[in-house]
Structure 1
Amino acid sequence: MTDLSTSSDQHDDAFDPEADRLREECGVFGIFGHPDAAAVTALGLHALQHRGQEAAGIVAFDGSRFNSERRLGLVSDHFSKASTIARLPGDAAVGHVRYSTTGETILRNVQPLFAELDTGGIAVAHNGNLTNGLTLRRSLIRDGAIYQSTSDTEVILHLVARSRKHRVIERFIEALRELEGAYALVVLSNKMLIGARDPLGIRPLVLGELDGKFLLASETCALDIIGARFVRDVENGEIVVITETGVESLRPFPKVQARPCIFEYIYFARPDSVVHGRSVYETRKAMGAELARETPVEADVVIPVPDSGVPAAIGYARASGIPFELGIIRNHYVGRTFIQPTQSTRELGVRLKHSANRSVVAGKSIVLIDDSIVRGTTSVKIVRMMREAGAREVHFRISSPPIKHPDYYGIDTPEREKLLAATHTLEEMRDYIGCDSLAFLSVEGTYRAMGEERRDPIRPQFTDHCFTGDYPTYLTDVSGETRSQLSLLAETG
């Protein structure tokens, strides 16, 4: 899900320790037939909070009407209140947590999006990004569609609404046939809960069961928090229809090889989730071990950049025989969007989130482990912090390949010219960051850590375009334009 609105780079003038990170845009959840549907959905969204921290919403159906609560902020800010859940009666609900990609977060973009159609109400929660969303939007507006948001998710509602099919599920399938890109969708009508993944399965979606009732969620960690049973992954190109009689599986698209997003394993999914049968935690440790084998270095301690670098650092330490230590302590009680108003205090921002453990760092040669480098601004400050704490040498190791290409499938990445690895050689990156040595895990090593061999470098089995430039779908909206230019077109078109 992305915003098709004017954008500005909000991170150039202010240092936010979380700004120089990749962001997954959304998490989705839905349950059908459970008497505490809204409360269960709120708990599921709590578990998916890492996938989106700017807004949350729930739509519930009570048998006669749909009720919606959509709010800016964290799930706990609003949906932990009994009064809010009481306004969401019914035994079916869908929920969503989100980040925005461009422009400011505004309430009209908060999902699930809802519309009344001639077949009844429908609520849509979307994780991913449509690579022809802008093209479809402009076409629909020319045909008379009136948009209430700047989200590409609204395209789906309009496509369903204009379909002349009689059944909701038929309309939904017809709408999906027009979409390009990545989507994991959870849709609620007055008679069913629908889940769908794009033909390549880029974004994740799982099917679970709680008290005999079926549910859908972005990750297995959302099942664990409510005590639900994992049933299976929704497969690529599959549509599951949950009604009072059970679960029906539909496969309206030709069967193709799945291409799940490799970044779910590297960064986005919670470590305690299982994605397509792989433990995320164990996979990240394996990536750290591969990194140690590919890029060995003599050092005294291995130190993770918390929290993202911890599993890989454990794997690196075990494979290298170098002791693992917590040389950086993270303060979990500082808000993500804290920005100081002046440059001098802004430079101290990194210390609000991360502080050096001097007893571990001073006088040591350290291996610093992180999962990725985007712009590199946070890396510069982390390395500087280590040197100020007395580190003798700082060897920076990244448990993923260099990010050289932007994403169009639901990851908030900068334009290519703002990706450090796209504009600098390895030595130039090392010099910019200020470390003694810098190395990344290879693409092949990433695959090995996942128990795979990269069988076909032209069409690999994961969506790894951020590293390779191999985009697995058409990019109709891109056409050589930057995303900010495309967003401007959406506002003026």
Structure 2
Amino acid sequence: MPRVSPCHRADECIKPKETDYDGARLRQLPGNLGIGHLRYPTAGSSSASEAQPFYGTPTNEPLNTPFGLCMSVNGNLINVEELREFLDVEARRHINSDSDSELLLNVYAHALTELGKSRVNSEDIFTALRTVYEKCQGAFACTVMIAGFGILGFRDANGIRPLCIGSRPSLTLEGATDYFMASESVALKQLGFSNIRDIQPGQAVFIQKGCAPIYRQVVEQRSYTPDIFEYVYFARPDTVMDGISVYRSRQNMGIELAKRMREVLDNQIIDAIDVVPNQGLRKKSVRRKLSPIECEFKGRNVLLVDDSLVRGTTSREIVQMVKECGAKSVIFVSCSPEIKNQHIYGIDLADPAELAAHGRKTDEIAKYIGADRLVYLTLEGLQAACRDAVEKKTGAEKDATTEKDTTAAKEFEVGVFNGEYVTGVPEGYFEHLSSVRQQGKKRKAVTLELTLNGSAESTDNPAVVTNSGPVYDAGPEYREDISIYNFASEIPSHER
């Protein structure tokens, strides 16, 4: 089998600015085990020094982790201060960054060390993982590479963040099997993987080098409540997540929204329907990017449809543009309910005071964005749309999974809409989150000022990392109302 060669320095890996479109650079890497990370950071700095997988400190020196651990995390921990104290006082471990992912890695590393073994086996891998579930609160879907030994994947006990696994005949070794874990099934399918199954809440899978996967229910499921915002916006439509087709769920949202509109709008005549375009446009960029065709709007009752309404800044500008074209009236409809609360599990929406629905009734929100009417899909309607989108497996995929594996989620994490979070929220966490956001804003402001003044081009300034690659208007990182950062830069992609 090919040798395993984990990266020990940043310049041995594929750097963010060196985009590997055809996979050529990836194929040049030696070894048969690997993990990657495409997600933005939601806690801590957004600089490249904290880009995952976590394998070293911001200065790229090896982390003090045993057994060559390297970890990628999708999610957000909500008891970070408690974990910092535990690692400092009890585990005597120094944390090098503000990232909660480094906390999770160190908790697991400490648990492995406490086993007192120079070499661990697969049973030890699962045993140490129990400590992670006991100590870490929040949402997490993780992959861990144990150098020269294998790959571990595990998911929080509520299943808030997604994780799935698939297999295919090996492309490089005759008679062998390749295994692949990812957040979305489409990543696996596009690379020819099949027998795709969701890793269940509280479940882990370990793939030892040269062996078949071992599944273990490490802790009992607390619930099966994936984040419903994945279906509303984040996931690709061709993904099946926790047994639910994202595409079908969005079709169902439209059906449920139509029912809601009949209830609210009575027999009001709609002359034109338009889907709100990419909301990644900043307010000052809307009029440069969008040019409405006046004859399509003039003298008509216009219905604008969007998946969600967060801050409302871009929506307000688009509504104004439609009215300037002579629209008789503008009705704005959202495929999700009012977003009134913070998202604490890995999607950095905004502080509550910045949300369009914060402290406002529906008619007041309509006035705020300049619309004549505003219609939200109800929370019950949104959940029903997702429940009714269960993807039924057939043929070989059905034969390859057990009845338990094909169970689809029936309940969802909806705290962003109703303020009821499945994990509960530790006292003081919201204040901590606001503080982190404010620090992030200050960092971005300083970096932007340096960039505009030309100072950012200096390679002697380690605090500033720029991305020289192309910028594409696709993906959630380009929405102004959902603050998501590209890990390759301190400057959000939509602000470059």
- Please tell me the TM-score bracket, short chain as reference: 0.7 to 0.9
1:276-355 counterparts in 2 under 5 A? 276-296=242-262, 297=265, 298-306=269-277, 348-355=284-291
Deviation of residue 85 (structure 1)?
3.0
> What residue in structure 2 maps to residue 374 of structure 1?
310
Q: SS at 2:381's partner residue?
A: helix
C-alpha distance in 2 between matches for 1:141 and 1:198: 24
Q: Given the superposition, is the C-alpha separation of residues 75 and 300 from structure 1 closer, same or farther in structure 2, using an over 3 Å criterion?
A: farther
Deviation of residue 137 (structure 1)?
1.8
Say if 2:215 is the partner of 1:249. Answer: yes
The percentage of counterpart residues that share the same residue type is 33
Q: Given the superposition, is the C-alpha separation of residues 111 and 208 from structure 1 closer, same or farther in structure 2, using an over 3 Å criterion?
A: same
Deviation of residue 435 (structure 1)?
0.7
Say if 2:357 is the partner of 1:444. Answer: no
Q: Given the superposition, is the C-alpha separation of residues 281 and 360 from structure 1 closer, same or farther in structure 2, using an over 3 Å criterion?
A: farther
> 1:145 is matched with which residue: 75, 81, 93?
93
1:376-431 Cα shifts (integer Å, max 9, x gaps): 11110111121223322211000001011111111112122222212211111111
Say if 2:426 is the partner of 1:476. Answer: yes
Say if 2:154 is the partner of 1:196. Answer: yes
Question: Which amino acid is 2:215 matched to?
Answer: S
1:64-99 Cα shifts (integer Å, max 9, x gaps): 543565899996743337774366321111010122
Question: Which amino acid is 2:338 matched to?
Answer: P
C-alpha distance in 2 between matches for 1:81 and 1:275: 26
Q: Given the superposition, is the C-alpha separation of residues 274 and 388 from structure 1 closer, same or farther in structure 2, using an over 3 Å criterion?
A: same
Q: SS at 1:137's partner residue?
A: helix
Q: Given the superposition, is the C-alpha separation of residues 99 and 477 from structure 1 closer, same or farther in structure 2, using an over 3 Å criterion?
A: farther
Q: Given the superposition, is the C-alpha separation of residues 183 and 352 from structure 1 closer, same or farther in structure 2, using an over 3 Å criterion?
A: farther
Aligned length: 390
C-alpha distance in 1 between matches for 2:354 and 2:317: 18
Question: Normalising by the residue count of structure 1, what TM-score does the alignment of the two structures yield?
Answer: 0.72
Stretch moving more, 433-442 or 281-290 = 281-290
Q: Given the superposition, is the C-alpha separation of residues 417 and 291 from structure 1 closer, same or farther in structure 2, using an over 3 Å criterion?
A: same
Question: Which amino acid is 2:365 matched to?
Answer: M
> What residue in structure 2 maps to residue 100 of structure 1?
41
Q: Given the superposition, is the C-alpha separation of residues 463 and 77 from structure 1 closer, same or farther in structure 2, using an over 3 Å criterion?
A: same
Deviation of residue 129 (structure 1)?
0.4
C-alpha distance in 2 between matches for 1:272 and 1:226: 14
Q: Note the aligned Cα RMSD (angstroms).
A: 3.0
Q: SS at 2:34's partner residue?
A: strand
> What residue in structure 2 maps to residue 234 of structure 1?
199
Structure with the higher strand share, 1 or 2: 1
> What residue in structure 2 maps to residue 258 of structure 1?
224
Say if 2:356 is the partner of 1:420. Answer: yes
1:63-212 counterparts in 2 under 5 A? 63-67=4-8, 69=10, 77-80=18-21, 84-85=25-26, 88-101=29-42, 105-114=46-55, 119-143=66-90, 144-163=92-111, 164-165=114-115, 166=117, 167=120, 169=125, 170-190=127-147, 191-211=149-169, 212=177
Q: Given the superposition, is the C-alpha separation of residues 118 and 125 from structure 1 closer, same or farther in structure 2, using an over 3 Å criterion?
A: closer
Q: Given the superposition, is the C-alpha separation of residues 202 and 480 from structure 1 closer, same or farther in structure 2, using an over 3 Å criterion?
A: closer
Which 4+ runs in 1 deviate beyond 6 A?
A: 70-74, 487-490
Q: SS at 1:412's partner residue?
A: coil
Deviation of residue 227 (structure 1)?
2.0
Q: SS at 1:421's partner residue?
A: coil
Q: SS at 1:246's partner residue?
A: coil
Q: SS at 2:38's partner residue?
A: strand
C-alpha distance in 1 between matches for 2:287 and 2:306: 17
Q: Unaligned regions of 5+ residues in structure 1, if any?
A: 1-32, 36-61, 309-335, 340-346, 454-459
Q: Return the index of the structure with the highest Cα Rg.
A: 2
Say if 2:275 is the partner of 1:275. Answer: no
Question: Normalising by the residue count of structure 2, what TM-score does the alignment of the two structures yield?
Answer: 0.72
Q: Unaligned regions of 5+ residues in structure 2, if any?
A: 56-61, 170-176, 390-409, 441-496
